[in-house]
C-alpha cells in the first residue's frame, strides 16, 4: 500500500494536479475557493475541485486538486459533488450510469434503508470534574477526544476521527495511538462511549476503521452521525459497513436530539436525498456540536461554510457563549464568512463577530494542504488560536484552567 506513517515530522507534499489526470473514473470530493482569490469573500466562487481515486481499501486513495479555469469548466453545478465522473482526456462527464457508480449508489441506499436511529442516552452528567480535551495532529483532518470524571469514573467521548491525510498520503495513526494510550494510563478508561461525527467527508471519518480494529468502540457506543446523507464514496461505505457490523447505536444528530451535555445547534432536521444541505454541499450538512459541562463548553463546527452558517438559528448569543471554538473548515475563508445573524438580527461579516467571548480558538488542519488553507484573514481575526499541527502528536486542554500542554 502506497502510504507513509509518520510521528509528527513536517511534510509539505501536495495533491496531484490536472496534468496528472488519466482517463478513468473519479469521485468528486468537493469544491473550494483558491488562495489566489480568497480576498473575494462576497462572491465565494469555488474555483478548485478535489477529485479522488477511491476504493473500499480506506487508505489506498489518490487526490487531485483541479483548477476549474485550467480545465475550462465554468459551471461547477454540472459536476455535483458526491458523484462519479469520467475523464476522457479532455473533459469530464457525469458517470451515473457507470457500473462502479451504480454499485456504490445501490450499496449506499441499501445501508441507509437498513439502518435505524436510536434515542440518545437518557442521562445528564451533572457532577462532572476534571474535564480535558485532546486534539490530535492528524495533518489535514479533524480528531478530538473529551475526557471527564463523574461519580469517580472517567468517560471518553470523541468528535470526528481522521488519521490519514489524503492530501499528502501521510498516516498519523501513531499520534492517535499515543494519545489514547496516555488517556488509558492517566484515567483508566479504555472505551469511547460516544463518537460524534460532524459530516461524512473522508478527512473527518477515516480513523474509525482504526477505532474498530483496536476495540475502542463497541455495540454500546453511541455514534452520532447522519447516515441518511446520500454519499456513495467507496471508503465511506466501507466504514459504514464496519460500524453496522459492530452493532453501534446510531443517533440522528439534529437539534431535537440535544441532551443536557450535547447541544446540537444545527441542523434542525436531517439532510437526505430530498432535504438538501444548503447549496447542495456536504460541508453545509456539518453538525454543530456544543459539548457542555457545568459552565464550560466547546463548539465543534466541522466544515460548515457560509451558506450553512447563514441557516443557523439557535446560536444566540455569541455561539451560545462557548468558551472554546473549533474553527470551521480547517481555517479556510469559506468556513469563516457569515453574511447574516438570523437569531439576533445583527449585522455581521465573519465568525469572529460571533466568537468574541471565546477564550481559545482551535484550528485543526495543515497549513498549505491546499490553496487557501490557512487563510490569512481567519488567522488575523482571532487572538488566541492554537493549531494541532504545532504539536508533534497532540495537545491537551484543561477546560477549567485553560492550560494547554503539547505532546
* Domain residue spans of the chain: 4-114, 128-406
Residues β-bridged to residue 145: 134, 158
Q: Is the pTM of this model over 0.85?
A: yes
The span from the CA of 343 to the CA of 106, in Å, is 40
* pLDDT over 70 percentage in the chain: 93
Query: What DSSP element (H or E) covers 21?
Result: none
Per residue in 320-357, pLDDT (tens digit) is: 999 999 999 999 999 999 988 877 777 789 999 999 88
Residue 85 C-alpha cell reads as 465522473
**The pLDDT of residue 40:** 52
**The pLDDT of residue 76:** 58
* Cβ 29 vs Cβ 63: under 8 Å: yes
pLDDT for residue 380 is more than 90: yes
Q: How confident is residue 43, by pLDDT bands cut at 50, 70 and 90?
A: very low
Buried b (16+ CB within 10 A) or exposed e, 168-184: bbbbbbebbebbbeebe
Phi, psi of 111 (to 5 degrees): -65, -40
172 Cβ contact partners less than 8 Å away, ≥ 6 residues apart: 6, 8, 136, 137, 138, 139, 141, 162, 163, 164, 165
Task: Give me the mean pLDDT over the 116-125 stretch.
Answer: 95
Q: How confident is residue 37, by pLDDT bands cut at 50, 70 and 90?
A: low
Q: What 3 state SS string does 327-349 have?
A: CHHHHCHHHCECCCECCCCECCC
Per residue in 155-202, pLDDT (tens digit) is: 999 999 999 999 999 999 999 999 999 999 999 999 999 999 999 999
Q: How confident is residue 79, by pLDDT bands cut at 50, 70 and 90?
A: confident
Residue 86 C-alpha cell reads as 469520467
* Cβ 158 vs Cβ 145: under 8 Å: yes
**The pLDDT of residue 6:** 40
**The pLDDT of residue 155:** 98
388 Cβ contact partners less than 8 Å away, ≥ 6 residues apart: 135, 136, 137, 138, 362, 363, 364, 365, 394, 395
> Beta strand 128-136 with 143-150: parallel, antiparallel or unpaired?
antiparallel
Q: Is 316 helix (H, G, I), strand (E, B) or coil?
A: coil
Q: How confident is residue 75, by pLDDT bands cut at 50, 70 and 90?
A: low
Q: What is the mean pLDDT of the chain?
A: 92
Buried b (16+ CB within 10 A) or exposed e, 365-375: bbebbbbbbbb
247 Cβ contact partners less than 8 Å away, ≥ 6 residues apart: 218, 219
Residue 243 C-alpha cell reads as 460500524
Task: Give me the mean pLDDT over the 302-313 stretch.
Answer: 95
Phi, psi of 112 (to 5 degrees): -60, -45
Q: Among candidates 400, 404, 405, which has minimal Cα distance to 129?
A: 400
Q: Among candidates 166, 6, 141, 27, which has minimal Cα distance to 84?
A: 27
CATH topology assigned to domain 128-406: Metallo-beta-lactamase; Chain A (3.60.15)
The span from the CA of 15 to the CA of 20, in Å, is 10
Per residue in 213-254, pLDDT (tens digit) is: 999 999 999 999 999 999 999 999 999 999 999 999 999 999
pLDDT for residue 13 is more than 90: no
Q: How confident is residue 12, by pLDDT bands cut at 50, 70 and 90?
A: very low
**Ordered alpha helix ranges (H), 148-275:** 173-187, 202-205, 208-213, 234-246
Amino acid at each position: 500500500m502506497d502510504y507513509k506513517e509518520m510521528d509528527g515530522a513536517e511534510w509539505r507534499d501536495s495533491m496531484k494536479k490536472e496534468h496528472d489526470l488519466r482517463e478513468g473514473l473519479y469521485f468528486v470530493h468537493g469544491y473550494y475557493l483558491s488562495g489566489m482569490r480568497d480576498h473575494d469573500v462576497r462572491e465565494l466562487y469555488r474555483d478548485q475541485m478535489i477529485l479522488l481515486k477511491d476504493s473500499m481499501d480506506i487508505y489506498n486513495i489518490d487526490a487531485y486538486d483541479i483548477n476549474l479555469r485550467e480545465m475550462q469548466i465554468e459551471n461547477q453545478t454540472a459536476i455535483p459533488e458526491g458523484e462519479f465522473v469520467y475523464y476522457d482526456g479532455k473533459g469530464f462527464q457525469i458517470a451515473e450510469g457507470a457500473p462502479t457508480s451504480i454499485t456504490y449508489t445501490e450499496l449506499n441506499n441499501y445501508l441507509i434503508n437498513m439502518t435505524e436511529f436510536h434515542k440518545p442516552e437518557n442521562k445528564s452528567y451533572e457532577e462532572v470534574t476534571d474535564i480535558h480535551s485532546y486534539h490530535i495532529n492528524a495533518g489535514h483532518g479533524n480528531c478530538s477526544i473529551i475526557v471527564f470524571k463523574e461519580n469517580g469514573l472517567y468517560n471518553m467521548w470523541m468528535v470526528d476521527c481522521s488519521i490519514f491525510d489524503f492530501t499528502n498520503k501521510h498516516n498519523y495513526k501513531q499520534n492517535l495511538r499515543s494519545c489514547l494510550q496516555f488517556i488509558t494510563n492517566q484515567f483508566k478508561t479504555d472505551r469511547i462511549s460516544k463518537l460524534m461525527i460532524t459530516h461524512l467527508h473522508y478527512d473527518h471519518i477515516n480513523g474509525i476503521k482504526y477505532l474498530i480494529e483496536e476495540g475502542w468502540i463497541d455495540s454500546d457506543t453511541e455514534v452520532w452521525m447522519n447516515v441518511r446523507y446520500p454519499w456513495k464514496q467507496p471508503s465511506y461505505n466501507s466504514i459504514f459497513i464496519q460500524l453496522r457490523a459492530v452493532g453501534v447505536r446510531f443517533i440522528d444528530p439534529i437539534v431535537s436530539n440535544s441532551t443536557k451535555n450535547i447541544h446540537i445547534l444545527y441542523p434542525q432536521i436531517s439532510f437526505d436525498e430530498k432535504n438538501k444541505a444548503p447549496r447542495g454541499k456536504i460541508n453545509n450538512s456539518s453538525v454543530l456540536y456544543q459539548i457542555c459541562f457545568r459552565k464550560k463548553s466547546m463548539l465543534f463546527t466541522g466544515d460548515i461554510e457560509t451558506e450553512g452558517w447563514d441557516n443557523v438559528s439557535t446560536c444566540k448569543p455569541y455561539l451560545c457563549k462557548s468558551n472554546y471554538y473549533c474553527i470551521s473548515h480547517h481555517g479556510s475563508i469559506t468556513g469563516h464568512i457569515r453574511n447574516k445573524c438570523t437569531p439576533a438580527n445583527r449585522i455581521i461579516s465573519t465568525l469572529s463577530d460571533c466568537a468574541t467571548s471565546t477564550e481559545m480558538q482551535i484550528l485543526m488542519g495543515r497549513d498549505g494542504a491546499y490553496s487557501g488553507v490557512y487563510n490569512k484573514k481567519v488567522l488575523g481575526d482571532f487572538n488566541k488560536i492554537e493549531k494541532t499541527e504545532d504539536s508533534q502528536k497532540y495537545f491537551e486542554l484543561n477546560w477549567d484552567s485553560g492550560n494547554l500542554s503539547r505532546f
